[in-house]
Structure 1
């Protein structure tokens, strides 16, 4: 039976490795929402990978690895903020890059999203940029589905107002 456990463990590790490699840009975007700093975001991603790897045998359904890992990533980012207990501001150079990028693309939507509070911004990005369903977002963020729907509605109303003012 020991040989079967080793094969099972290696198969999980391979699936996990492929998942991490395939989704690294998504992980960066999500962690950056919280930390607003490239280096801190990378640290949180690496710490999340280590935590997830250590708990890899605890996930029963590998089809749910995405929700499971995103939850670890978000919790690690929140813990990082608490641990460092400092205000994280967007650096001027980062904001300039964002402004120039949106000008080049003719799309100021990214800037509008940056003006949303952290939770609303995360929900909008998970829903509209990564294609998560309301139910999945509620599981990831440990919120009720109705709360997620209300927050989506609130965020969209705020974005509409900003667009109308421009």
Structure 2
């Protein structure tokens, strides 16, 4: 695949899926501006390293891997408490909507070890197939299935614990 054709395919792919990339980055950093920065940095990195993409059909997993890695890099670099942006804080604090269950799920998901959370987010929030997740994370499909199963089990246990604590 020639560089010009690769670049056109990349640009089209990013334009068509920009909301997905933003949502993925936001799921890690919980901040609108940081998520936008991660997506921008991911696009920049993708354009600079376009030569490493050998097959156009691998574009999806290749770019998702860049977004995941940039998100994880950001978290490692900024080891701090995730501060919610104003819109998110306002949404959660609005008394008209009962979002407790969503907050619990989000907190429990955030408490999972990174390798389990990443697989769950990619599978259920980004609706990617096991094969695609394995390609993105450069792991065996069976490893991804195991992480997904264990991660969901851990999440279920955390959610049940949260529910019990609230009932007391």
TM-score by length of 2: 0.75
Relative to 1, partners in 2 of residues 1:137 and 1:87: Cα closer, same or farther, differing over 3 Å? same
Q: Tell me how far apart the structure 1 counterparts of residues 142 and 150 of structure 2 sit (CA, whole Å).
A: 12
Relative to 1, partners in 2 of residues 1:109 and 1:81: Cα closer, same or farther, differing over 3 Å? closer
Structure 2, unaligned stretches of length 5 or more? none
TM superposition shift of 1:43 = 0.9
The count of aligned residue pairs is 156
**Are 2:150 and 1:154 aligned?**
yes
Contact 1:99/1:111 (<8 A) preserved: no
Paired position in structure 1 for 2:28: 34
Q: Write out the 4+ residue segments of structure 1 that deviate beyond 4 Å after TM superposition.
A: none
Structure 1, unaligned stretches of length 5 or more? none
TM-score by length of 1: 0.76
- The 5 A counterparts of 1:83-102 are 83=77, 85-91=78-84, 93=86, 94-95=88-89, 97=91
- The 5 A counterparts of 1:128-147 are 128-147=124-143
Secondary structure, in 3 states, of the residue corresponding to 1:23?
helix
Contact 2:32/2:85 (<8 A) preserved: no
Q: Tell me how far apart the structure 1 counterparts of residues 133 and 103 of structure 2 sit (CA, whole Å).
A: 20
CA RMSD for the aligned pairs? 2.9
Contact 1:28/1:45 (<8 A) preserved: yes
Which structure would you say has the larger RCO, counting Cα contacts within 8 Å and 6 or more residues apart? Answer: 2
Q: Tell me how far apart the structure 2 counterparts of residues 17 and 135 of structure 1 sit (CA, whole Å).
A: 24
**Are 2:83 and 1:76 aligned?**
no
Q: Tell me how far apart the structure 2 counterparts of residues 130 and 78 of structure 1 sit (CA, whole Å).
A: 17
TM superposition shift of 1:99 = 7.4
